[in-house]
């Protein structure tokens, strides 16, 4: 833990970052920017895990390993999502969600 910084500061930062990511996910109409919003959300959750591990349970390492695994899952998710996005672009010539609606109805 860090001297002089309460745990709450980390929680406030990660909460604000999480909801900024949610806001981006709700307002963006482009698949890649939506993916970036998801990365923001995952990153904020990582901050939470690390702060809890460091301040409350410094004798274990679960928070750190959970963050590592979340980072690995985020990397896998980004790779697969970008493969799908590139395939969509090849078929529709666009990655706007408004134009990719063939299976909507």
- The pair of structure tokens assigned to 19 is 């909801």
DSSP state of 85: H
Q: Using the rule CB under 8 A, is 56 a contact of other proteins?
A: yes
Sole binder of other proteins in the list 84, 91, 100, 104 (CB under 8 A):
84
Count other C-beta atoms under 10 Å from residue 5's C-beta: 11
CB of 99 to other proteins, least distance (A): 10
Q: DSSP label at 5?
A: -
The minimum distance between CB 31 and other proteins, in angstroms, equals 8
Fill in the DSSP letter of residue 93.
S
Query: Does 101 interact with other proteins (rule: CB under 8 A)?
Result: no
Dig out the tokens for 40 from the structure: 């923001």
Residues 1-20 touching other proteins, rule: CB under 8 A, are 1-5, 7-13, 15-20
Q: Is 64 a residue that touches other proteins (CB under 8 A)?
A: yes
């Amino acid at each position: 833990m860090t001297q002089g910084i309460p745990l709450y500061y980390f929680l406030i930062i990660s909460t604000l970052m999480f909801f900024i990511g949610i806001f981006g996910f709700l307002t963006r109409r482009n698949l890649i920017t939506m993916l970036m919003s998801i990365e923001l959300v995952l990153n904020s959750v990582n901050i939470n895990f690390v702060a809890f591990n460091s301040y409350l349970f410094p004798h274990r390492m679960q928070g750190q390993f959970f963050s590592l695994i979340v980072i690995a899952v985020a990397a896998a998710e980004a790779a697969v999502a970008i493969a799908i996005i590139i395939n969509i672009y090849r078929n529709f010539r666009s990655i706007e969600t408004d134009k990719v609606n063939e299976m909507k109805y």
